[in-house]
């Protein structure tokens, strides 16, 4: 009986200790009562009113803060002095922890320093890093080899049934397939520079010769201008630059008797895309074009901002390599037309526009589908071409994003309120339109790294990584108010990997190697099938769809590989590289700073971002209806020379307490 009394006494002592800690410090549960913590934002789930114009919740206090605000700060509009709003300096405070940190808000243990550091903060062993690098390379090889064995020359691989996939000729309205697949061996073309980056010179040379000898764009295929540009045109230009680089940093990637065939193919494709820019009253291109016949007679006059305004990098590189200003000129004209349609009140753009009238059909402004790569290419065009106007436009729209889309407390890691989050708002009023984010928005921390806002990038990245930790993938849409996915599939997108890679390059913090390892292991566990890697149909039950999109090999595998390959020529060759929105590398050099388009620009087209040649409508000028965008792709980034910024381990601990 003595041992029973002893056990009972120890239990009572433990309960008494927890009770005391709970009363004094509020630490009880984290000491051992709960072993698993679901993601929970730390505020009560709020009912959204049926009236979309009103998103204010009922008078419910926040749990744990009696008399506190009735709603999370993400639902609250920015302060009244929005025009002059300046964010407070973000200074890490290692001693601060509590319910305002991501570690608490996303269901972690807040200040679990010992457990966190044991798992994340130690040096990532070189042997483990090499193992992860080889695993990423093996993932690419498994997908690529199966595509070549079972799908080539078709566009994509169906990895479950080990078959190829091309355009859906039986259903022209199947835009999810037909916008992307043009019957031009898409996956092979899209993967060319990944082969080079991984140092596989023999397969790169073989693949280039296959593309030259078998791929033709003289096809009766109607494709989306944006997808053909970023996936095919961009890859051809990138591979051409790799072949003709006199330094050959990736090994011997030169092709014997190469006569600029890839550049000629890129030119041929771009010429076939040019009809999209004709016969539009605004200069904004049609969303789709038939590669043989031009714009279809029944073409839609509505296009998304990202689709029409994210062509400048590829078209600009082509123009400068050829010395032909046509391609850059039409791409710049489209960007300027969109820019001049932004709201006078907020400086924001909508996500869908009518190319004939210039009226905004979709007035949602956010960071995800329909807008993402528009922001990205304003900055990357400046990095690549050095045009100051591109930087001025980016800086202006970035400030508008901070003023109207960024919610939560001013500083990432200190102060009162919820951690920062970027929401979807009405472009004219800045009012919240819905309570979801989409997975494409995970590119934005990487873009913030490129422009130097590293601390905010760290904080936002933590939010997306926390969602990944819960599901082993990023659902296409996640409702941050309901704390659940709205759209459940995951098509192997690269955006979170891309931002992880860029944050590691900026901080050299081993935390991001652990994030990459988590992502890599999740992909191996949940998406690998008989002949490749499959789209997750449902991120919760992990059911799959029989599709492996080309960006899995061109981006997802590439960024994972580069994350773990510290000695890669991308990092060590001395050449500065930038990544396109499809992850294709372009070297940043003086040759691309020559501007053949300028002498051909009419004077009124050459005005700055405040040019008056196109009227910018106010809210009352437009009759806007709700519409969904066909632009569901996105973005990417890459490496640009950037000063390193030291990051405190405790700061990351406060944001990601997902042990």
Closest CA to 378 of 416, 338, 413, 410: 338
The residues annotated as belonging to the active site are 227, 372, 476, 495
C-beta of residue 490 within 8 angstroms of C-beta of residue 536: yes
Concatenated DSSP letters for 273-292? HGGGGSS-SSSPPPSEEETT
Q: Tokens for 153?
A: 């020359």
The pairing of strands 436-438 and 477-479 is antiparallel
Q: Tokens for 311?
A: 């062509």
How far apart are the C-alpha atoms of 56 and 49, rounded to whole Å? 8
| CA distances for 371 relative to 395, 428, 630, angstroms | 16, 15, 12
Rounded to 5 degrees, φ, ψ at 535 are -60, 135
How far apart are the C-alpha atoms of 560 and 564, rounded to whole Å? 7
- 443 Cβ neighbours under 8 A, 6+ residues apart: 372, 376, 495, 498, 499, 634, 635, 636, 637
- Asked if residue 216 has a cis previous peptide bond (ω within 30° of 0), the answer is no
How far apart are the C-alpha atoms of 474 and 535, rounded to whole Å? 11
C-beta of residue 367 within 8 angstroms of C-beta of residue 401: yes
How far apart are the C-alpha atoms of 553 and 434, rounded to whole Å? 33
* Triad 606, 232, 308: Cα angle to 5°: 35
Rounded to 5 degrees, φ, ψ at 80 are -65, -30
| CA distances for 570 relative to 387, 413, 588, 635, angstroms | 24, 32, 12, 19
| CA distances for 156 relative to 400, 470, 554, 555, angstroms | 39, 29, 13, 15
C-beta of residue 552 within 8 angstroms of C-beta of residue 561: no
- 293 Cβ neighbours under 8 A, 6+ residues apart: 220
Question: What is the b/e burial string over 489-513, where b = at least 16 CB atoms within 10 angstroms of the residue's CB?
Answer: bbbbbbbbbbbbbbbbbbbebbbbb
């Amino acid at each position: 009986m003595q041992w029973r009394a002893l056990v009972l006494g120890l239990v009572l002592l433990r309960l008494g200790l927890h009770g005391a800690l709970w009363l004094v410090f509020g630490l009880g549960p984290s000491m051992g009562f709960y072993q698993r913590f679901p993601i929970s934002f730390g505020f009560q789930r709020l009912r959204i009113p049926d009236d979309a114009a009103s998103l204010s919740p009922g008078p419910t206090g926040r749990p744990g803060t009696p008399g506190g605000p009735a709603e999370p700060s993400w639902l609250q509009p920015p302060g009244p002095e929005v025009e002059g709003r300046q964010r407070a300096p973000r200074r890490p405070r290692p001693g601060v922890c509590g319910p305002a940190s991501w570690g608490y808000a996303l269901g972690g243990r807040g200040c679990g320093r010992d457990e966190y550091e044991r798992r994340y903060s130690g040096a990532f062993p070189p042997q483990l890093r090499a193992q992860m690098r080889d695993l990423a390379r093996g993932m690419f090889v498994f997908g690529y080899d199966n595509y070549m064995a079972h799908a080539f020359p078709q566009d994509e691989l169906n990895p479950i049934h080990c078959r190829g996939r091309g355009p859906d000729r039986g259903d022209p309205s199947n835009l999810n397939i037909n916008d992307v697949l043009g019957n031009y061996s898409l996956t092979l073309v899209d993967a060319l520079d990944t082969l080079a980056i991984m140092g596989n010179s023999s397969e790169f040379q073989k693949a280039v010769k296959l593309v030259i000898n078998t791929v033709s764009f003289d096809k009766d295929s109607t494709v989306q201008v944006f997808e053909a540009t970023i996936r095919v045109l961009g890859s051809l230009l990138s591979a051409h630059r790799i072949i003709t680089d006199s330094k050959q940093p990736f090994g011997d990637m030169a092709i014997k008797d190469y006569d600029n065939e890839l550049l000629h193919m890129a030119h041929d494709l771009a010429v076939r895309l040019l009809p999209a820019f004709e016969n539009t009253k605004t200069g904004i291109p049609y969303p789709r074009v038939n590669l043989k016949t031009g714009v279809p007679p029944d073409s839609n006059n509505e296009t998304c901002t990202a689709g029409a305004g994210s062509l400048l990098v590829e078209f600009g590189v082509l123009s400068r390599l050829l010395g032909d200003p046509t391609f850059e000129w039409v791409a710049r004209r489209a960007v300027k037309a969109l820019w001049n349609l932004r709201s006078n009140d907020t400086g924001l753009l909508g996500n869908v526009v009518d190319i004939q009238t210039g009226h905004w059909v979709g007035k949602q402004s956010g960071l995800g589908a329909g807008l993402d790569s528009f922001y990205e290419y304003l900055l990357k065009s400046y990095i690549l071409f050095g045009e100051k106007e591109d930087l001025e436009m980016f800086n202006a729209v970035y400030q508008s994003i901070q003023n109207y889309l960024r919610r939560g407390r001013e500083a990432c890691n200190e102060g009162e309120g919820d951690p920062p989050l970027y929401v979807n708002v009405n472009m004219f009023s800045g009012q919240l339109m819905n309570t979801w984010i989409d997975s494409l928005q995970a590119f934005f921390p990487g873009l913030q790294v490129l422009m130097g806002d590293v601390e905010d990038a760290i904080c936002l990245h933590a939010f997306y990584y926390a969602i990944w930790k819960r599901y082993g993938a990023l659902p296409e849409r996640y409702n941050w108010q309901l704390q659940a996915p709205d759209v459940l599939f995951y098509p192997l997108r690269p955006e979170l990997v891309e931002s992880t890679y860029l944050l590691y390059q900026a901080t050299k913090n081993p935390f991001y190697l652990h994030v990459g390892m988590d992502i890599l292991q999740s992909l191996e566990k949940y998406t690998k099938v008989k002949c490749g890697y499959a789209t997750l149909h449902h991120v919760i039950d992990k059911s799959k769809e029989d599709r492996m999109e080309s960006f899995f090999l061109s981006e997802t595998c590439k960024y994972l590989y580069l994350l773990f390959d510290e000695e890669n020529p991308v990092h060590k060759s001395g050449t500065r590289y930038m990544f396109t929105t499809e992850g294709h590398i372009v070297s940043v050099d003086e040759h691309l700073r020559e501007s053949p388009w300028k002498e051909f620009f009419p004077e009124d087209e050459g005005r700055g971002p405040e040019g008056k040649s196109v009227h910018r409508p106010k809210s009352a000028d437009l009759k806007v209806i709700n519409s969904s965008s066909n632009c569901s792709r996105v973005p990417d980034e890459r490496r640009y020379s950037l000063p390193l910024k030291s990051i405190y381990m405790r700061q990351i601990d406060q944001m990601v307490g997902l042990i």
